[in-house]
Structure 1
Amino acid sequence: MPDSPTPPAPITFDDFLAVDLRVGRVMSAEEFPQARRPAYILHVDFGPEIGVKKSSAQITVHYTPQDLVGRLVVGVVNFPPRQIGPIRSECLITGFHDASGAVRLCQPEGEVPLGARLL
């Protein structure tokens, strides 16, 4: 889905801090055949403070499950769990839509500790 041409309303710094964005490492990735749109089920380790969380991610165009295992990703870890078909998604893995609408993951440029918070 391409970005909207209308700029979003301004938020406060406290609004930004309310979104808990953390670095995690994909521990496993598998096909999610029950999803309405092509997706994977990811298990992401966000470090000892948060632990492993499950997510459904529509990132099948640019990534295979094998590409994802071991990769660092950025996820929102403080959304309430959401039922997506037969799985309960516990976090939102972030990314950007490319020119064709497929998702490219948001990732740190280098190694950072698991659970590090985006500030």
Structure 2
Amino acid sequence: MTEIAWDDFMKVELRVGRVLSAGPFPQARKPAYVLEVDFGPEIGVRRSSAQITALYRPDELVGRLVVGVVNFPRKQIGPLMSECLVTGFHDSEGRVALCVPDRDVPPGTRLL
């Protein structure tokens, strides 16, 4: 494992966001949803593609808190311009489980 300095970690803007909408992304190469996530007044609403279809349905994602990287450059994914990276972990079967706060915190709160 490569060690990083604290300053390296501080460059990554990991923020809490609330999912406003989630829907199918049929143009994606792997099964995915398009998410709209509200990261609070400072950052606003961002769109992302998320390969989380194995463990989540769109209707159960709306209103949930997620953790996202908001300072990556935008990335074109098929017809979608992804504006953030919603974080998660692969389980033993390779399915993605979302990284989420265990308490209600305001959208935009930075992970430290």
- Normalised TM-score (structure 2): 0.99
Instruction: Spell out the pairing of 1:21-40 with structure 2 (5 A cutoff).
Output: 21-40=14-33
The answer for the alignment partner of 1:75 in structure 2 is 68
The answer for the alignment partner of 1:90 in structure 2 is 83
User: Number of matched residues?
Assistant: 112
**d(CA) in 2 for partners of 1:70, 1:54:** 15
Aligned residue for 1:63, secondary structure, equals: coil
Q: Runs of 4 or more off by more than 2 Å in structure 1?
A: none
1:110 Cα shift? 1.0
Identity rate, percent: 68
Q: Say what the alpha-carbon RMSD is for the aligned residues.
A: 0.4
Aligned residue for 2:55, secondary structure, equals: coil
The answer for the alignment partner of 1:11 in structure 2 is 4
Unaligned runs of 5+ in 1: 1-7
- Normalised TM-score (structure 1): 0.93
The answer for the alignment partner of 2:107 in structure 1 is 114
The answer for the alignment partner of 1:41 in structure 2 is 34
**d(CA) in 2 for partners of 1:115, 1:36:** 30
Unaligned runs of 5+ in 2: none
